[in-house]
Amino acid sequence: MLFSYLKIAWKVLMRRKFFAFISLFGVSFTLMILLVVMAMFDHLVGPSTPAKRVEQMLFVNSIRHEIVDGRGWMNMPASIHFVDDYVRRMKTPAKVGISTGASNATAFTKSKLLPLDLSYTDGNFWQIMDFDFLGGRAFTEAEVKAAQHVCVLNEATARGYFGTADVVGRTIEIDLKSYRIAGVVHNVSAAHIFAYADVWVPYTLSPQYYKDNRISGEFLVVMLAPSAAAVPAVREEYRQMMRRVEIPNPKEVKALFSYADPILASFTRAMLNHKDQSVDDDNLEAFYLICGGLALLFMLLPALNLVNLNVTRILERSGEIGVRKAFGATGHDLVGQFLVENVALALVGGLLGLGLAAGALALVNDAYPIAYAHFSLSWRVFGWGMLLTLVFGLMSGVYPAWKMSRLNPVVALRGGGDQK
């Protein structure tokens, strides 16, 4: 029966080529845009190099200081004191690493100035993140402790400075300081704010490396849980730990708030934060609700257009509906048939949308909007795309199918469209 439905769906589609074009264009264009957005989203928060084990990772991007007398809030990254004396003493994380957001640095070659993004990290950072090394290695915790002038370069910097990526053991001068190159990695997308840089050096060389008891500093913290299942336990221990943090300047700061979040939650907490920041809500549900609502709204217009076209098409097929009912089709059979037809149409549109999205992403990649970012359609995005297509097909098919099933067979056989 399904094959019969699909056969007639194809025939009907081919009979009305203009209708088919309009329908498919609406479906595929909408899906193209949604897929491009999803591919970018996936690139940002999905598992990819170097955050391959992202589902085991928790991120701390700021500590919120509540200023006394209701004078407001201050969000600052963590200090080494906070990391060493509180975070690293936690029992549940397998590893705790730190890095700074990329800051500007400059290297000079013989002929030109090479602007660089530089990040300070510790040794654990390299064990939590899975960089693809072209050569050499990461710097070790011992080298970090000894504040040795070692660095890891990305491929673009190695080639830009030396003309080759085979530079392990050589020396590079950055901001008038010399660093021995320990390793060279593949370029990392600037969308990975916790890991991106052109050059990484030990945090012990950072001018912001203060050894006093201040809480705020410049470090982003990344924790690796032993497994994805252990993530909630790490989050909870971090919550408990925050209650014990001693405020160094209680005359100025009333309270401190900080949360260890999975990658997406770390963004949503910052983006959609509450007025009362003491509320522990990562806003993930609100984010999904907003995204889902926007996607549905975005799909609603072409779906309504398709509904309208489908309802009109019913009148043309009233004879067929009458015949099917006369020969024993129930309303449910007809709803099933029309939904199959519509979902099949939507799936064709979905596949076209995937093709269009691949083309659009190639154009976006060529435009190079984010350094070293390469947006692509993963299987996960493909799966989401097909799910969206299915939702689209059902959204635009349910009402016409229901209307179709209500046609009075006698009237339908006469060629009319009145309902029972």
Partner 1 sequence: MENLLATPTQSRPQPLLTSPAAGGTPVLQLTNIEKVYQTSTIETVALNRVNLTINRGEFVSIMGPSGCGKSTLLSLMGLLDEPTSGTIAVDGRLVTSYSDRELAGLRNLKIGFVFQSYHLINDLSVVDNVEVPLLYRPGMGGKERRQRALAALDKVGLGARTGHFPGQLSGGQRQRVAIARALAGGPEIILADEPTGNLDSVMGEEIMDLLLGLNRQDGVTIVMVTHDEQQALKTQRVVRFFDGSQVG
> What residues make contact with partner 1 under the rule CB under 8 A?
1, 3-4, 7-8, 11-12, 15, 319-320, 322-333, 408-410, 413
Least distance between partner 1 and beta carbon 328 (Å): 3
| Coil vs helix vs strand at 185 | strand
Nearest approach, Cβ of residue 332 and partner 1 (Å): 8
Cα(28)–Cα(339) distance, integer angstroms: 18
Least spacing, CB of residue 13 vs partner 1, in Å: 10
| Distance of closest approach, residue 398 Cβ to partner 1, in angstroms | 19
CB of 127 or CB of 408, closer to partner 1: 408
Instruction: Give the residue with the Cβ less far from partner 1, 274 or 414.
Output: 414
- Looking at the Cβ atoms of 229 and 326, the one nearer to partner 1 is 326
Pairing of strands 199-202, 150-154: antiparallel
* Environment class of 28 (CB within 10 Å of its CB; exposed 0-12, middle 13-18, buried 19+): buried
What the block records as the tokens of 30 is 């909408």
Please state, as a whole number, how many other Cβ atoms lie within 10 Å of the Cβ of residue 232.
Answer: 12
DSSP 203: G
Smallest distance, partner 1 to C-beta of residue 367, A: 45
- What CA–CA distance (Å, rounded) separates 115 from 105? 6
Name which of 101 and 409 has its Cβ closer to partner 1. Answer: 409
Q: Which two tokens stand for residue 99?
A: 């890095």
Q: Kindly tell me which of 11 and 110 has the beta carbon lying closer to partner 1.
A: 11
- Minimum CB separation of residue 10 from partner 1 in Å reads 9
SS3 content of the chain, % helix, strand, coil (to 5): 50, 20, 30
**Quick one: 239 or 332, whose CB is closer to partner 1?**
332
Q: How far apart are CA 34 and CA 189, in angstroms?
A: 22
Smallest distance from the beta carbon of 393 to partner 1, in angstroms? 20
Shortest Å distance, C-beta 334 to partner 1: 10
Q: How many whole angstroms separate alpha carbon 103 and alpha carbon 198?
A: 10
**Which parts of 238-384 are beta strand (E)?**
253-257
Q: Which two tokens stand for residue 158?
A: 């190695």
**What is the rounded distance in angstroms from the CA atom of residue 213 to the CA atom of residue 139?**
27
Output 1 or 176, the one with its CB closest to partner 1.
1
What count of Cα atoms within 13 Å lies in the side-chain half-sphere of residue 238? 28
Query: Whole-angstrom Cα distance, residue 129 to residue 50?
Result: 5
CB closer to partner 1, 274 vs 420: 420
Determine how β-strand 95-100 pairs with β-strand 219-224: antiparallel
